[in-house]
Structure 1
Amino acid sequence: MIRVSNLIFRYTSLPEPSLRISDLSIPEGECLVLCGKSGSGKTSFTRLLNGLIPEYFEGEYSGDINVFGLVPGRDSIETFSKLTSTVFQNPASQFFYRKTEQELAFSCENQGLPPQSICERLNETAAFFQLQSLMDQDLLSASGGEQQRIALASSQMQSPKLLILDEPTANLDAEGVKMVRNYLSKLKAQGVTIVIAEHRLDYLENLGDRYLYFEKGEIAHCWSQEEWLDLTNEDRKKFGLRGLHLELKQFYEEDSCLLGLSTKRLQLRNNKVNLGQISDLHFPKNCITALVGPNGIGKSTLAKILSGIETSDGDINFGKKTLSPLERLKQSAYVMQNVRLQLFSDSVRKEILLGNSKTADFKQVVEQLGLSQLLDRHPISLSGGEQQRVIIANALLSNKKIIIFDEPTSGLDYEQMLSFSKLLQELKSPERVIIVITHDLELINEACQQIRFIRKVP
C-alpha cells in the first residue's frame, strides 16, 4: 500500500510549495488516474512515488510518504527501482542503450536474472508489443510512438509492483493507444498497482478505479469510476479535461485555401534507413492542415525534410517555386516532438524571444499560452506541457512562411489546446502554410480545415 499524510513539497528553485496532500491511500492493485491542468502537480507527485524526489529533483518535503515500505530521501533510487517502474513523458530520456533488444534486457540484467529467464521475457514482451521488427532498431532513429512502445515494453520486463506512467499515450496512434490499454488491463488483472498522469482520458474508461483531480498542487476532487463516467464531456471541459468518445469530423476542400507547399516523388530516409516514397502532398496557404498517419510511417521525418533540416530526393515547391533545403530552412519554423532538444536559454523569457524580431506580440502570446508567471523560470524546471508551450510561443513570434508543429498538444490540457487552436487561427494568412502533425482528434476537429493522410507509394 502507498500512504501519504500531511505532505508539503517545495522544489529548491521555487518559493512556493508544488504539492500539498493532507491524506491519501492507494491500495495495492488499484489503477489511479491523475488528471488536471498542466503544471498542477501531477508529475511532481509521480516523482515522489518513484524516489526521484528529492534525490534527483532537489527539494524539501515535510509529512509522511510510504511507498510499499520505501521512503523518498531515505531509500535510494536503486532501491525504489526494484519495486517501481516509470514511463516518462519523454521516453527517450530514460533509454540507456541504442538498440531495442539491449534496452529491454537492461533492467533484467540489472536485477541479476538468469539469461534463460531474460530471453523468455524478451520473446513474450516483443510479441505482446509487436516489437519483433524493431528489436535491432536504433532508438535514436525510432519515431516518438515507437519509442513510447519500447519504453512501455521495458517497464514490463521489470515485473514492477508499482507502475507509474506520465502521459503514456501522448505520441501514440489509435492502434498504439489500444495496445497500451490492453497492456494496462493485463497488469491490473495481475495485481500491479498503476498510477497514470494523463490528459488523454478516453482509453481509460472502465480501467481507472479512481480519478484524482490536481489543482495548484492539491487534490481538489476525487472521483470513483462510477462518478467519473457519470460526468458529461461538458462537465469535463469545465475542469479543463479532455472528452470521451471522440470522432473525427468530415473535411471538405475549401475554396479559400491557396496554392502552398507541395511535394513530388519524395523519398523518406531516417538515419540512412529507406522508409520509402510517399504519395504527393499539398499543404495550402491560408489554411491549417493536419498531417496524420500511423506511428513509424515517417511523419516527423517528412517534417524535417519540409523545414530543410534534412534533405531528400524529389521536389518541394512553395507556390510555383522549387525550394532548396537552405531556402526551406530560412522560411520554416519547426516545433519538434521532443521539445527539450530545442531549449537553449536560461530563462523562459529569453527562450521565447530567441531568434525573434517580432516582439510586439510577446505579451499577447505569453498570456494566451499561460506563460506570464513563468518568464523568469529556467525552461528545464518546467513540466513537459509547459516546455512545449514555451517552444510554441517562440514559433508563434517568428515571421516564417512555413510553420510545422509536431504533436504540439501531446502535453496540453483541454483549455491549453483551445488556446493553441485560437493562436493557430491568428497565424493563418494568405502568405503562410501551417502544418500540424497530430493524433489529437480534439485539436483536429477544433482547429484544422484540411487533413492529409501520409501514405507509402507501392
Structure 2
Amino acid sequence: MIELNELSFTYENSREGVSQLRRINLHVKKGELILLAGKSGCGKTTLTRVLNGLCPQFYPGKLTGNYRLDGQDALKMPVHQLGTMAGSVFQDPRSQFFATNTTDEIALGMENIPLERTVIHERVKTVCAQMNIARLLDRRIFPLSSGEKQLLAIASVCAMEPKVIVMDEPSANLDSNAMVRLGILLYRLKEAGHTIVLSEHRFHYVRDSFDRLVLMENGELSTIYSHDEALKLSEDQLTGMGLRPFDAPAFQVGGAFQSEPDDTLQVSEISCMLDGRQILDEISFSARSGKILAIAGPNGAGKSTLCRTITGLYRAMGTVQIDGEYLKRKQRTRNSFFVQQDSDYQLYAPTVLDEFFIGKKETSSLKEDALGRLREMGMDEFQNRHPASLSGGQKQRLLLTIAAASRKNLLVFDEPTSGLDGYNMRLTVKLFKQLAREGRCILLITHDMDLIAEAADCVIYIEQGTLRYCRNIMRKI
C-alpha cells in the first residue's frame, strides 16, 4: 500500500540546510498498523506530512526519492485525490477544522468526496457510536475541550474510510476510556483492510493490534521491530531508546488528602458557566508547597476551566486563597504561572532564549539562569531558533523551562506531557520534583497515567464539573 524508497525532505529555509528526513526506505502492506516512534523532533511529523501530501505542497521544501501509494506515484497526484486516499489526524486538531458545528465537521470530508446523503448520515451515526461521542453532535466546536476536539478530528477522518489513515499523536489529550475506544476503533479499521500509520508515544492502547514498531532517530529509520520483537524489549531497553513501556502503569490511591489551614492554595466553592452550560459546580480543594497535585477526569469534565479560574483567566463564583490571602483575578494571574495545552498561544519572541526575557530586562544573571534551565531539559541547542520552528514536544519543554524560571510559587500545567516521548517525559518528571523540592506548589492537569504514577503526590478526580474525590497516591505497583 505504501512504498517509500530513498525518500529525503528538507524544509525551505531550514537552518544550514539540515534535512528533516534522510533516505527513508519503508514498505507497508495493506491492512498493516505501523507504530512510528522516536524522540520529539526526530522527524515523525514530517514523515506523516509527506504521506498525506502536505510536504511539499503546503510545507515547501526539497523532496527527493520515491513515494508510491496503492501502486500509484503519490508525488504526482493532485492533493485532493491524495487526500481521499490518505486521511490524516494532526497533532493539533484545531488546524484541520473547517466548520463551526461538530456534525458539519464530521460530514464535510464525505461531502467533498462526494458521498450520497444517506451514506453520510449512516457513517456519522456509526462512527459516533463506535467512539461513544454522540453527545458531541450538533455542538459548537470552539468551546469543546482539547480532548473532545481530538475525538472530533479522529471521527471526521475515520468516517471517510480512506485506504490509509495517518495519525500524529491521536491519544495525546484523550482520557483513559477514550483511549481504549480509540484502540478498538483502530483494530476494527485494520481488520476491515485499512492501512494505519500511527505516530505515537503511548503504546498500551494498541499493544495487541500493531504489526511493526518503526523507530526514527535524527530523520532516519534506525530500527524496525516486528510485533513480537517489540514486546520482548525490556523496560531498560525501552528507556534507553527514549520510549515508554507497552503496559499501562499501575498505582494505588488511598487515604483522603486532608486540607490544612496553611496550605498554599485554598480553592472554595468554585462554580462556572460557559456558553450557557454549567462547567463547574462548587468545587473545593487545597494544595500545598512542596507537593505535586494531579487533576484527572474524563474529557470535557472541566479540568482546564478550573485551572483557568484559579489563575484568574476566567470569571467564576467562589474564592481562591494563595499563601493565606484572598486574591482577585488580576492578583491571581500575577502570582501564578499557567502553561496551557496549546503552546503556540504562549510563545511570542523571535528566539527561544528571548522568550525568557519578555516583560523583563535582560541581565547576565537572567541569561545564565535561562541557559541553565534549557540545558536541564536538553533545549540549549535550540536557543537561537524561532519557537515556531520547534516540534510540538519541544515547544512543551520550552514552556516548562520558562515556567520554572518564572520564580512564581504556584505553577499550573495543562497536559504537560501530551507531546513528549519517554525520555523527555522522564526529564519533565525530574523537573517537577526539583521544583517541588524548591517549595513550589504544582498542579498538573493530565490524562497521562505514566506522569501521575511517576510524579504526583496526590490526585483529585473531576467528573461533569463536580469533585468526586481527593486522594493521596500511596505507591506505584
The TM-score normalised by the length of structure 2 is 0.91
1:381 matched to 2:384:
no
Letter in structure 1 aligned against 2:374: V
- Distance (whole Å) between structure 2 residues aligned to residue 211 and residue 100 of structure 1: 33
- Give the alignment of 1:130-209 within 5 angstroms: 130-209=132-211
Letter in structure 2 aligned against 1:314: G
- Distance (whole Å) between structure 1 residues aligned to residue 322 and residue 100 of structure 2: 37
Which residue does 1:301 correspond to in 2?
A: 305
- Distance (whole Å) between structure 2 residues aligned to residue 45 and residue 193 of structure 1: 16
Which residue does 1:274 correspond to in 2?
A: 278
Which residue does 1:402 correspond to in 2?
A: 410
Q: Is the Cα–Cα contact under 8 Å of residues 88 and 165 in structure 1 kept in the other structure?
A: yes
Q: Is the Cα–Cα contact under 8 Å of residues 293 and 443 in structure 2 kept in the other structure?
A: yes
Which residue does 2:471 correspond to in 1?
A: none
1:323 matched to 2:327:
yes
Q: How far does residue 397 in structure 1 lie from its aligned partner after superposition?
A: 1.4
Please give the root-mean-square deviation of Cα atoms over the aligned residues, in Å. 2.1
- Distance (whole Å) between structure 2 residues aligned to residue 123 and residue 442 of structure 1: 34
Q: How far does residue 238 in structure 1 lie from its aligned partner after superposition?
A: 1.1
- Distance (whole Å) between structure 2 residues aligned to residue 308 and residue 147 of structure 1: 24
Which residue does 1:423 correspond to in 2?
A: 431
Q: Is the Cα–Cα contact under 8 Å of residues 280 and 306 in structure 2 kept in the other structure?
A: no
Letter in structure 1 aligned against 2:393: G
Q: Is the Cα–Cα contact under 8 Å of residues 294 and 452 in structure 2 kept in the other structure?
A: yes
- Distance (whole Å) between structure 2 residues aligned to residue 51 and residue 422 of structure 1: 38
- Distance (whole Å) between structure 2 residues aligned to residue 335 and residue 424 of structure 1: 13
1:110 matched to 2:118:
no
- Distance (whole Å) between structure 1 residues aligned to residue 55 and residue 4 of structure 2: 14
Which residue does 2:11 correspond to in 1?
A: 11
Q: Is the Cα–Cα contact under 8 Å of residues 354 and 394 in structure 1 kept in the other structure?
A: no
Which residue does 1:443 correspond to in 2?
A: 451
3-state SS of 1:327 partner: helix
- Give the alignment of 1:6-85 within 5 angstroms: 6-14=6-14, 15-71=17-73, 73-85=75-87
- Distance (whole Å) between structure 1 residues aligned to residue 72 and residue 386 of structure 2: 31
The TM-score normalised by the length of structure 1 is 0.95
Give per-residue Cα distances to partners, 1:246-280, cap 9 Å, x unaligned: 11244665999961112111113333421240431
* Unmatched segments (≥5 aa) in structure 2: 469-477
- Distance (whole Å) between structure 2 residues aligned to residue 199 and residue 457 of structure 1: 30
Q: Is the Cα–Cα contact under 8 Å of residues 125 and 153 in structure 1 kept in the other structure?
A: yes
Letter in structure 2 aligned against 1:402: L
3-state SS of 1:405 partner: strand
- Distance (whole Å) between structure 1 residues aligned to residue 268 and residue 259 of structure 2: 23
Q: How far does residue 34 in structure 1 lie from its aligned partner after superposition?
A: 0.3
Which residue does 1:390 correspond to in 2?
A: 398
Q: How far does residue 84 in structure 1 lie from its aligned partner after superposition?
A: 1.1
Q: How far does residue 448 in structure 1 lie from its aligned partner after superposition?
A: 1.8
- Distance (whole Å) between structure 1 residues aligned to residue 20 and residue 350 of structure 2: 21
- Number of equivalent positions: 458
Which residue does 1:120 correspond to in 2?
A: 122
* Unmatched segments (≥5 aa) in structure 1: none
- Distance (whole Å) between structure 1 residues aligned to residue 195 and residue 119 of structure 2: 23
3-state SS of 2:266 partner: strand
Q: Is the Cα–Cα contact under 8 Å of residues 460 and 467 in structure 2 kept in the other structure?
A: no
3-state SS of 1:180 partner: helix
Q: Is the Cα–Cα contact under 8 Å of residues 244 and 422 in structure 2 kept in the other structure?
A: yes
3-state SS of 1:301 partner: helix
Q: How far does residue 435 in structure 1 lie from its aligned partner after superposition?
A: 0.5
Q: Is the Cα–Cα contact under 8 Å of residues 264 and 314 in structure 1 kept in the other structure?
A: yes
Q: How far does residue 13 in structure 1 lie from its aligned partner after superposition?
A: 2.5
- Give the alignment of 1:312-351 within 5 angstroms: 312-351=316-355
3-state SS of 1:133 partner: helix
Residues 5 and 448 from structure 1, CA distance in 2 versus in 1: closer, same or farther, beyond 3 angstroms? same
3-state SS of 2:417 partner: coil
Deviates more, 1:109-118 or 1:352-361: 352-361
Give per-residue Cα distances to partners, 1:311-362, cap 9 Å, x unaligned: 1001111132211111101111111111122222232222343345644421
- Distance (whole Å) between structure 2 residues aligned to residue 348 and residue 13 of structure 1: 18
Letter in structure 1 aligned against 2:317: D
Residues 258 and 305 from structure 1, CA distance in 2 versus in 1: closer, same or farther, beyond 3 angstroms? same
Which residue does 2:421 correspond to in 1?
A: 413
